[in-house]
Amino acid sequence: MEFFTSLRTTQVIYIIVLLGVLVLLNTNGVESRKDRISEWFEYSAISCRAHSASLEEFGGVADGITSNTHVFKAAIDHLSQLAPYGGALLFVPPGKWLTGSFNLTSHFTLYLHKDAVLLASQDESEWPVIEPLPSYGRGRDTEGGRYSSLIFGINLTDVVITGENGTIDGQGEPWWQKFRAGELNYTRPYLIEIMHSENIQISNLTLINSPSWNVHPVYSSNVVVQGITILSPVTSPNTDGINPDSCTNTRIEDCYIVSGDDCVAVKSGWDEYGIAYGMPTKQLVIRRLTCISPFSAVIALGSEMSGGIQDVRAEDITAINSESGVRIKTAIGRGGFVKDIYVRRMTMKTMKWAFWMTGNYGSHPDNNYDPNALPVIQNINYRDMVAENVTMAARLEGISGDPFSGICISNVTIGLTKKPKKLQWNCTDVEGISSTVTPKPCNLLADQGPEKISSCNFPEESLPIENVEVQTCSCNAKL
């Protein structure tokens, strides 16, 4: 009694809450877990957690048939109470865990065992409908709202979604069929979407068959995406790989992506809605990726770029059997800007175009866009690249009266297919320079000669996100 009397009131409250939570965690499902073994493992994360629990401790059933949506929600709700005490990890054991959409919490880790599969429910009632993104004004597929993503979070800090390459299966075929048939009531869900958040890690997972985009950090900062494998049928609609959207300080690295759309699509809002929201994507690092996208781009900037895109650094990229290596997509009415883009050490194999820029990507959310809102495209730098089996080197189409300027291409060798296009560089309304580029660029990219091969400089100073390090964490989980 003297001990409790000496404590402050707030300390007593914290102890009572913690004891209550620990009782809940240690009494929930005691009978079902007494024969289980513990598995100690290590993993890499930006933050380690003081506490952990298994999904089975909350009544989860891994038969691929029983819905676990309420189980995920209950587990995360309970574990959220441990945020003041070092945070918590939710362990997803081996098995097939059917679930609809669920929300994460702060100071939290979701960890998938290598033999764990999250199966996205095909029951639309398990997908809450939420408001469209304010920087888009409407859903991407239809007017109005959108289905919440499978794994969703808003206004969070310090969140890790990771594993040992456990699988998240979006079971997207019914969604693709409805999209193609024009039968969707709302925009399709994504697999992972984190909004208005900071200090986020998404790593070491395999994502397959997403209904639409796979990974979508939006209005967020300090985001690390690494070691992700994304596999989508190449004919699946809009199954973009990773889409940083109005984000600051983001790092995407060491990923393998097969996509029905862009492998990485950098975005910041759509026409008048993106202009009004005014939140650019900036300070973005993309490195060590291997991508396949036969009908789209390996790295796309836009087309929704009305809030602006600035300071993107991509390096050590391998593109295979893709429509274009780097593509800038914009249009009259977009406004905004794409500037200070740096790409180096890219290897391309079997491409339709190595480079593609277009100012005529004309999809609009509605007819209220401002025809005088012209995008600014400037300081675009490509260097140290090799390509083979390419149909056409470049298609560079600016906007009449609004040319794309400051384009620099140096030390690039493009090997052509057996039946290449007769015109290899199609350039209109662009301005820039080139040095040591084969085949020879168009006259609008004036050849500066081999002495300028070091043009198109890649920034030497690092961005803050490059200095964010993961640490080795350990966990003792019940199997």
Indicate which residues carry an active-site annotation: 261
Asked whether 315 and 347 are in contact (CB, 8 A), the reply is no
Is residue 215 helix, strand or coil?
Answer: strand
Provide the angle, in degrees to the nearest 10, between the axes of the packed helices 69-80 and 9-27.
150
Q: What are the strands, taking DSSP E only, across 18-120?
A: 38-45, 51-54, 63-67, 88-92, 95-99, 102-103, 108-112, 116-120
Query: How far is the C-alpha of 375 from the C-alpha of 402, rounded, in Å?
Result: 8
Nearest CA-CA partner of 251 in 301, 217, 290, 208: 217
Asked whether 201 and 46 are in contact (CB, 8 A), the reply is yes
Query: Which residue has tokens 């100012």?
Result: 359
Nearest CA-CA partner of 343 in 302, 305, 303, 386: 386
Nearest CA-CA partner of 269 in 252, 286, 251, 244: 244
Q: H or E element: which one contains 11? A: helix 9-27
- What is the CB neighbour count within 10 angstroms for residue 340? 17
Query: How far is the C-alpha of 97 from the C-alpha of 193, rounded, in Å?
Result: 19
The string of DSSP letters for 377-405 reads EEEEEEEEEEEEEEEEEEEEE-BTTB-EE
Strands 146-147 and 129-130, bridge-based pairing: antiparallel
Q: H or E element: which one contains 450? A: none
Query: How far is the C-alpha of 479 from the C-alpha of 469, rounded, in Å?
Result: 29
Query: How far is the C-alpha of 213 from the C-alpha of 190, rounded, in Å?
Result: 5
Q: H or E element: which one contains 469? A: none
By residue count, the chain amounts to 479
According to DSSP, the residues that pair with 98 across neighbouring strands are 67, 119
Q: How far is CA 96 from CA 108, 238, 341, 466, in A?
A: 22, 26, 42, 35
